[in-house]
C-alpha cells in the first residue's frame, strides 16, 4: 500500500535563493524548490503539497502560525498517513515542541525538517533530509500502525523527539541534538528505529487539537551581577503570567534576599516560575545546593530536564487553557508527551 503524505511547506533555507540586490537568502515558493530537485518525483509515496501563501524565514514563526499548522493537519488528518513540515531551522525546535502539546494523542507522524544549505546548492543537505523524512513519515509497523506517531525533527541522520530537540549548530549539517533523550531512529544505510522509546497513542481515541497559547511569558537567564532594578521591572511587567528561569547547573541561583523576596511575591501573585538549567545536558535537582533549595521554598517549580524551547511552549499552552495555577503547576511537573524525564 502506498502511503499518502502531506508535505507542508512553510519556508526556511531549504527553499531559499539569493536576492541579487541584497545578497541575502530569501524564501521562495515550493515550485522553486521542486525545480531544483528532480528526485522528488521518484519518491515512492503519494505526496501532496500545501504551502504557506507567503513562505517565511522561521524567525517570523509565531503561535498564530503554529495554530495554522494545526488547522492544516486537522483538515487533512483522515486523508493522509503522515505529515512532513518543511521549516527553517532557527525556530524549528520551538514549533516542534509547541505542536507536540497542540496535537494531543497524535496517531500519525508529523516530521519537521529543513536544511542548512538551499536545495539548489551542490552540497545541499536538503535533499537527504527531505527524502528521509518522507520515508519515515510513510513507515508502518507490522500491525499497520505508523512507525513513529510523534512530532519529530529529522536532521542529518537523526530522528529526534521534537520536544527534546535544540538547534546546536548554525554552520554544521548536524544542526540539531537532543541532549537528554536518545534519537528515536538513526538513518544510515538503513533506518534503525528504536521502537522501545517511541510513544504509542491510544488508537481507540481521536487526536485532539488545541489552539490556545498565552504569550504573556518570558525566558529569563540568571548571570553573575544581575541587578535588582531590572529583575523587579521584569516581574512587574503588566499581564506577565509565566517565567522560564534559566538557572545555573542543577537549578542553582544566587542566595540574594531581594531575589528570593521578589520571586516569592511573584508566585504569590500567581506567576508560574519554572526552573530549567543553562546547561545543555542534565536535569534540574533543586534540593542539591542551597541556592536551588531556596528557589524551591519560594514556590519555583522544577522544569526537570526540559529544553528552553519545550518549557516555554508547554507554559504558553497550559496558560492558554486555564487560569487554575495549581493545575498548571501540576501539569508542568509531569510529562504530557515525553518532554521531560522524571
Ligand atoms: N533563517 C533560516 C530559517 O530559520 C535558517 C534555516 O532555515 O536554516 O528560516
Q: What is the pLDDT of residues 114-136, one digit of tens each?
A: 999 999 999 999 999 999 999 99
**What pLDDT is attached to residue 33?**
84
* Residue found under cell 524549528: 92
- The preferred substitution site among 17, 55, 90, 154 for testing ligand 1, maximizing ligand atoms within 8 Å of CB, is 90
Using the atom order of ligand 1, give the atom closest to the CA of residue 116: 8
In this prediction, residues 61-80 reach a mean pLDDT of 98
- Give the separation between CA 192 and CA 274, rounded to whole angstroms: 35
**What pLDDT is attached to residue 36?**
86
**What pLDDT is attached to residue 254?**
95
Give the tens place of pLDDT for each residue, 167-186. Answer: 999 999 999 999 999 999 99
**What pLDDT is attached to residue 55?**
94
In this prediction, residues 20-38 reach a mean pLDDT of 87
**Measuring from each residue's beta carbon to the nearest atom of ligand 1, which residues come in under 6 Å?**
11-13, 57-59, 88-90, 114, 116
Residue 50 exposed, middle or buried by CB count within 10 Å (0-12, 13-18, 19+): middle
Contact assessment for residue 190 and residue 145, using Cβ atoms and an 8 Å cutoff: no
The rounded Å distance from CA 256 to ligand 1 centre is: 40
pLDDT band at 44 (very low <50, low <70, confident <90, very high): confident
Give the tens place of pLDDT for each residue, 234-260. Answer: 999 999 999 999 999 999 999 999 999
**What pLDDT is attached to residue 9?**
96
The rounded Å distance from CA 166 to ligand 1 centre is: 14
**What pLDDT is attached to residue 192?**
98
**For residues 160 and 44, which has the higher predicted lDDT (pLDDT)?**
160
Check whether 154 has a pLDDT greater than 90: yes
Check whether 287 has a pLDDT greater than 90: no
Check whether 105 has a pLDDT greater than 80: yes
pLDDT band at 215 (very low <50, low <70, confident <90, very high): very high
Contact assessment for residue 336 and residue 327, using Cβ atoms and an 8 Å cutoff: no
Check whether 98 has a pLDDT greater than 90: yes
The catalytic position among 2, 10, 13, 227 is 13
Domains of the chain: 3-209 (3.40.50.1170), 217-332 (3.40.50.40)
The rounded Å distance from CA 27 to ligand 1 centre is: 9
pLDDT band at 32 (very low <50, low <70, confident <90, very high): confident
Q: What is the mean pLDDT of the chain?
A: 96
pLDDT band at 315 (very low <50, low <70, confident <90, very high): very high
Q: What is the pTM of this model?
A: 0.97
Q: What is the longest distance spanned by two Cα atoms in the chain?
A: 65
* Residue found under cell 541561583: 253
Q: Is 13 known to be catalytic?
A: yes
Which protein residue's CA is at the shortest distance from atom 7 of ligand 1?
Answer: 88
Amino acid at each position: 500500500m502506498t502511503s499518502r503524505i502531506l508535505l507542508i511547506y512553510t519556508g526556511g533555507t531549504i527553499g531559499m535563493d539569493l536576492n541579487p540586490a541584497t545578497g541575502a537568502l530569501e524564501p521562495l515558493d515550493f515550485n522553486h524548490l521542486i525545480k531544483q530537485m528532480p528526485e522528488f518525483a521518484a519518491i515512492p509515496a503519494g505526496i501532496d503539497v500545501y504551502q504557506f501563501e507567503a513562505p517565511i524565514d522561521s524567525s517570523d514563526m509565531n503561535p498564530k502560525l503554529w495554530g495554522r499548522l494545526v488547522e492544516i493537519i486537522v483538515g487533512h488528518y483522515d486523508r493522509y498517513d503522515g505529515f512532513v513540515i518543511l521549516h527553517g531551522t532557527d525556530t524549528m525546535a520551538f514549533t516542534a515542541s509547541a505542536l507536540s502539546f497542540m496535537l494531543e494523542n497524535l496517531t500519525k507522524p508529523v516530521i519537521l525538517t529543513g536544511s542548512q544549505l538551499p536545495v539548489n546548492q551542490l552540497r545541499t543537505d536538503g535533499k537527504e533530509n527531505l527524502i528521509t523524512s518522507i520515508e519515515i513519515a510513510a513507515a508502518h509497523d507490522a500491525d499497520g500502525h505508523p512507525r513513529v506517531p510523534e512530532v519529530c525533527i529529522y536532521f542529518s541522520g537523526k530522528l529526534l523527539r521534537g520536544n527534546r530537540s535544540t538547534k546546536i549548530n548554525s554552520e554544521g549539517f548536524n544542526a540539531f541534538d537532543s541532549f537528554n533523550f536518545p534519537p528515536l531512529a538513526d538513518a544510515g544505510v538503513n533506518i534503525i528505529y528504536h521502537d522501545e522509546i517511541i510513544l504509542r497513542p491510544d488508537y481507540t481515541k481521536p487526536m485532539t487539537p488545541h489552539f490556545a497559547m498565552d504569550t504573556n511569558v518570558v525566558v529569563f537567564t540568571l548571570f553573575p551581577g544581575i541587578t535588582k532594578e531590572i529583575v523587579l521591572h521584569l516581574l512587574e511587567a503588566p499581564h506577565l503570567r509565566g517565567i522560564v528561569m534559566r538557572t545555573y547547573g542543577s537549578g542553582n541561583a544566587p542566595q540574594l534576599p531581594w531575589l528570593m523576596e521578589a520571586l516569592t511575591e511573584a508566585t504569590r501573585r500567581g506567576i508560574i516560575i519554572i526552573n530549567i538549567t543553562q546547561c545543555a545536558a542534565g536535569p534540574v535537582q533543586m534540593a542539591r545546593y542551597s541556592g536551588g533549595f531556596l528557589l524551591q521554598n519560594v514556590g519555583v517549580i522544577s522544569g526537570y530536564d526540559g529544553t528552553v524551547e519545550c518549557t516555554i511552549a508547554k507554559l504558553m499552552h497550559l496558560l492558554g487553557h486555564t487560569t487554575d495555577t495549581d493545575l498548571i503547576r501540576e501539569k508542568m511537573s509531569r510529562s504530557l508527551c515525553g518532554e521531560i524525564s522524571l
